[in-house]
Amino acid sequence: FACLCQWACDRAPPAMEEYEKLYRLGSGGQGKILKVRHRRTGLEYACKMILCRDNHEMNFALREIKMLMDLRHTHIIGYKDFFIHRDRYEDLYVCLVMELCEHGDLSEKIRDAKRKHVKFSEARIIKWALQMCSALKHIHGHDILHRDLKPTNVFFTAQDDVKIGDFGLSTAISATGRRTIVGTPYYFAPELMLQQKYNSKVDLWGLGIIVMELCTLKERPINSQVLNNPQVVDEIATEILRYGFSRELATVTKELLDKRPECRPTASEFLVRFASTPSDVSKGPALLPLCDLCQDRPAKFRCPSCEDEAFCELCDAQQHRAGGKRAKHQRNSLHQVEGAVLCDGCMEGPPVVRCPECDQEQYCLKCDQTRHRNPKRQGHVRHPLPGLPLPAAP
């Protein structure tokens, strides 16, 4: 790193002068991140200033830069420049000028979804997961590990695409595996917690944690739980299914969170697995509401008399039980209010028919057959939804 360090030092004085500091974007244990503007071009960037107490820490920071300068990918934060800077207090900083993503990170998206009691559509989750996997495949192809993949290190563009950033804990992959324990403890893979050798599968574990949180909107110490009981991933898969997501997404999340690294899919395998997933996520609802009371099950009704809160079927029955003060409240089908296209019966699959004699409710094939199996309803005339043929019973 001697030549790299000397090059950075030689050009440090003019480099800092090339940028106008606008304001601080954030700070952490490694230093701070500023929004800056290039004086000559007027272009705006993020400048990560890594505080270095000695030459050893400066070399560690420069090692990050050396690897990052070789990474060029659509879903990886782009790095433009770097230099060494001493401020007026004689503090030493290694500065990285990088692409600016002003549309938040994944942790903010998850927090916002929790606050609004809504969840992400499966198409959107898979889209982001595929983009992250594409970036991981590129990173691993350069023999680099990220080692700290988590929601706060996944950033958004204006087009709702993701970019992986913050490679401060990245490292070159050793043929015999790594042993250095770094990263965020909450997102540690089991092999990191056991201080075992590890490889690129630690990044796939991080992807599994992210997908789990996107599906369930819950944080949980899954790493320690998996070490105590490897079957806990079955509970995760069941929970994902209960939220209305596909079995394929539940299964791949379970595999990503496998205690055994060799059983987790690689980034390439994940990409192949979901290669046929439609890229157009604008069709269908982007967000699906959760019950305002239990904040767990999908909501089915909205009650204007209860401060416009939305309830799942169970909580609605409790809130509006017969004989109670709220029994006469008029509730609306949430699907009519929100415009979500889901079956009124199971609230999971898309509806294919509407039954005027069942309060205009819409049903998927399975729920339609179940509901109209009753002799009293067998004579109901159902109408296929626009653009969908009336399915024949199997």
Would you name the residues annotated as active-site residues?
Answer: 148
What's the pLDDT score for residue 286? 40
Domain shared by 113 and 250, yes or no: yes
What's the pLDDT score for residue 282? 38
When pLDDT is cut at 50, 70 and 90, the band that residue 387 belongs to is very low
What average pLDDT does range 79-89 have in this prediction?
Answer: 82
249: CATH: 1.10.510.10
Residue 351 domain-assigned?
yes
Domain shared by 62 and 161, yes or no: no
Domain shared by 131 and 220, yes or no: yes
When pLDDT is cut at 50, 70 and 90, the band that residue 341 belongs to is low
The predicted-structure confidence for 109-134, as pLDDT tens digits, reads as follows 999 888 777 788 889 999 999 999 99
What's the pLDDT score for residue 336? 42
**Of residues 182 and 241, which shows the higher confidence score?**
241
Distance between CA 142 and CA 71 in Å, rounded? 8
Distance between CA 12 and CA 93 in Å, rounded? 10
What's the pLDDT score for residue 168? 56
Residue 358 domain-assigned?
yes
The predicted-structure confidence for 3-60, as pLDDT tens digits, reads as follows 555 555 554 444 778 889 898 887 766 678 889 999 999 999 988 888 888 888 788 7
Q: DSSP letter string over 327-372?
A: TT---EEHHHHH-----TTTSSSPP-EEEGGGTTEEE-HHHHHHHT
Domain shared by 92 and 114, yes or no: no
353: CATH: 4.10.640
Q: Is the pLDDT of residue 99 over 50?
A: yes
Distance between CA 152 and CA 185 in Å, rounded? 14
The region of weakest confidence among 168-182, 210-224, 373-387 is: 168-182
Q: Is the pLDDT of residue 311 over 50?
A: yes
When pLDDT is cut at 50, 70 and 90, the band that residue 203 belongs to is very high
Domain count, the chain: 3
Domain shared by 114 and 86, yes or no: no
The predicted-structure confidence for 270-303, as pLDDT tens digits, reads as follows 998 887 655 444 333 344 566 777 766 777 777 8
Domain shared by 24 and 162, yes or no: no
Domain shared by 79 and 116, yes or no: no
What's the pLDDT score for residue 132? 96
What's the pLDDT score for residue 29? 61
Residue 296 domain-assigned?
no
26: CATH: 3.30.200.20
The predicted-structure confidence for 23-32, as pLDDT tens digits, reads as follows 888 776 667 8
What average pLDDT does range 330-337 have in this prediction?
Answer: 62
Total-model pTM? 0.67
Give Cα separations from 184 to 145, 275, 341 (angstroms): 14, 31, 39
Domain shared by 170 and 269, yes or no: yes
Domain shared by 30 and 175, yes or no: no
When pLDDT is cut at 50, 70 and 90, the band that residue 390 belongs to is very low
**Of residues 84 and 345, which shows the higher confidence score?**
84
Last residue of a domain, one of 78, 98, 118: 98
**Of residues 71 and 344, which shows the higher confidence score?**
71
Residue 157 domain-assigned?
yes
Last residue of a domain, one of 273, 290, 318: 273
Among 40-54, 81-95, 229-243, 250-264, which range has the highest average pLDDT?
250-264
Q: Are 311 and 138 in contact (CB under 8 A)?
A: no
Structural domain that includes position 194: 106-273
Distance between CA 49 and CA 96 in Å, rounded? 7
Give Cα separations from 315 to 64, 240, 307 (angstroms): 51, 20, 15
Start-to-end CA span in the chain (Å): 69
Residue 79 domain-assigned?
yes
When pLDDT is cut at 50, 70 and 90, the band that residue 107 belongs to is very high
Q: Is the pLDDT of residue 215 over 50?
A: yes
Domain shared by 137 and 39, yes or no: no
Residue 59 domain-assigned?
yes
What average pLDDT does range 357-375 have in this prediction?
Answer: 83
Residue 329 domain-assigned?
no
Which residue, chain included where needed, has tokens 């830069």? 65
Domain shared by 222 and 351, yes or no: no
What's the pLDDT score for residue 254? 94
Last residue of a domain, one of 72, 98, 124: 98
What's the pLDDT score for residue 161? 93
Residue 297 domain-assigned?
no
Domain shared by 110 and 244, yes or no: yes
Percent above pLDDT 90 for the chain: 22
What average pLDDT does range 349-362 have in this prediction?
Answer: 78
